[in-house]
Amino acid sequence: MDYRTYLRYHPDENGYFGEYGGAFLTEELKDAMAEITEAYHTIAQSAQFVNELRRIRKDFQGRPTPVYHCERLSRVNGGAQIYLKREDLNHSGAHKLNHCMGECLLAKYMGKKKVIAETGAGQHGVALAMAAAFFGLECDIYMGEVDIAKQGPNVTRMKILGTRVVPVTHGLKTLKEAVDAAFEAYAREYEDAIYCIGSCLGPHPFPLMVRDFQMVVGQEMREQFRDMMGHEPDVVCACVGGGSNSLGTFVPFLDSAVELYGVEPLGKGDALGDHAASMKHGTPGIMHGFNSIMLKDENGEPAPVYSIASGLDYPSVGPEHAYLRSLGRVQYDAVSDEEAVRAFFALSKYEGIIPALESSHAVAFAMKKAKEMKTGSILVTLSGRGDKDVDYVVEHYGFGEQFQL
């Protein structure tokens, strides 16, 4: 089946991918979501919208990002050849801007004046702040006070870009409270504002919209690799937090014979609280407005999660991932902090590319898989650059001498 045919039926009209997805909403948010769904199915499919987004991607974001052959890393690693899709070279230094530009363009076409979101580590906040500045939209980012204190540079970036960072001061003062605060604000302000989610998560239509906006990654890389090599890669992999860079990568390959792997963070190990490997250790459940696989504590609430890569520590995964695994079309593996940091140094040292710690998980998996395969090719989505992570890594791991690369 052509993947475009898959797109027509996934999700279904109620936002379900098989048994996963849906929209579990309070009454006041139902109208707001219906308005976004309607706008997405009409405005965002118009030729004018599609052409404007295409122009923005080229002139502002610098797309297409290249596909690059890691010759030295492949040689020292010993095994299959490793290639990267360079989302670290997308403007802002990561893939998140792909869907933020789409969401803000939709906001503009809908006549909204403001975009609202929450952020944890600040990466989504910065990407949305950039997109809002580009379109001349106001931007309110809700952020826990604890996270504001920890993420100084991202808070500064958002403010420089003209965004209002709203501190959330109740509960644990982190991401969970920020999500609630952003939704409350949206329920109050939805006449003038649109809520913009940061990954393929949340109630319908967000998993659909974000996947579609991120598919530019997979579409480009499939074509680029074919132009370069004359055939498909054997394996494609990407890291999975909520699942946006990975679904954007995988879906345009669904109608190929390519093996697809999502890579989750195993953090410090398999004990609950030490990782954020939802697919490996989670069970079906409903949270944050959608049905998927999630990590739960003893009361059935979202469990505490951990990863060295703050962009990956989320206790669930986008519903389309849960569905693609149930079909057996995508496989999932988990990589520890230690393996990710080793890959961080390997890519830096052998290729001159400092990857984000999130993306380092995908690189670590590729290095392991390449050794097993011995020959063939692995195409990895490098979701972002690592400038944001260098201070943390050096403080905790020095310059990586212990990895004996």
Ligand X SMILES: *Cc1c(COP(=O)(O)O)cnc(C)c1O
Q: Is 242 in the site for ligand X (CB under 6 A)?
A: yes
Q: Closest separation between CB of residue 119 and ligand X, Å? A: 10
102 binds ligand X (CB under 6 A): no
Min separation Cβ 355 and ligand X, Å: 8
What the block records as the tokens of 365 is 């998996």
| CB half-sphere exposure, 199, CA atoms < 13 A | 28
Q: Which residue is nearest to ligand X (CB)?
A: 384
Residue among 22, 17, 14 at smallest CA distance from 327: 17
Is 288 annotated in the active site? no
Which member of 74, 77, 123, 278 binds ligand X (CB under 6 A)?
Answer: 123
Choose the binding region for ligand X from 133-141, 269-277, 280-288, 354-362 (rule: CB under 6 A): 354-362
Q: Is 356 in the site for ligand X (CB under 6 A)?
A: yes
Stretch that binds ligand X, among 15-23, 30-38, 142-150, 236-244 (CB under 6 A): 236-244
* Least distance CB 30 / ligand X (angstroms): 25
Residue 243 in contact with ligand X, rule: CB under 6 A: yes
**Is residue 379 at the binding interface for ligand X, with CB under 6 A as the rule?**
no
Q: Which stretch binds ligand X (CB under 6 A): 35-43, 276-284, 356-364, 397-405?
A: 356-364
Q: What is the DSSP string of 29-78?
A: HHHHHHHHHHHHHHGGGSHHHHHHHHHHHHHTT-PSPPEEEEHHHHHHH-
Cβ nearer to ligand X, comparing 81 with 199: 199
- The site for ligand X, by CB under 6 A, has a size of 19
Q: How far apart are CA 296 and CA 316, in angstroms?
A: 9
Q: Go through the chain and tell me how many residues it has.
A: 405
User: Which residues in 69-98 contact ligand X (CB under 6 A)?
Assistant: 94, 96
Rounded to whole angstroms, how far apart are CA atoms 107 and 190? Answer: 11
Phi, psi of 92 (to 5 degrees): 90, -15
Is residue 239 annotated as part of the catalytic site, yes or no? no
- The sign of the torsion formed by the CA atoms of 64, 362, 155, 25 equals positive
Task: Give whichever of 259 and 264 is closer to ligand X, judged by the CB atom.
Answer: 264
57-60 long-range contacts, CB within 8 A, separation 24+: 57/98, 57/101, 57/216, 60/91, 60/101, 60/134
Q: Of the listed 10, 69, 91, 95, which one is catalytic?
A: 95
C-alpha separations of 320 from 56, 276, 281 in Å: 27, 18, 17
Binding mask 183-222 for ligand X (x = CB under 6 A): ----------------x-----------------------
Pick the closer one to ligand X by CB: 291 or 383: 383
Do 261 and 333 contact (CB within 8 A), yes or no? yes
Burial of 168-202, coded b for 16+ CB within 10 Å and e otherwise, reads beeeebbbbbbbbbbbebbbebbeebbbbbbbbbb
Structure tokens at 48: 């004018």
| Contact region with ligand X (CB under 6 A), list: 60-68, 75-83, 101-109, 240-248 | 240-248
Catalytic residue among 10, 70, 91, 361: 70
Q: Give the residues lining the site for ligand X (CB under 6 A).
A: 94, 96, 123, 199, 239-246, 311-312, 356, 358-359, 383-384
Q: Which residues are part of the catalytic machinery?
A: 70, 95
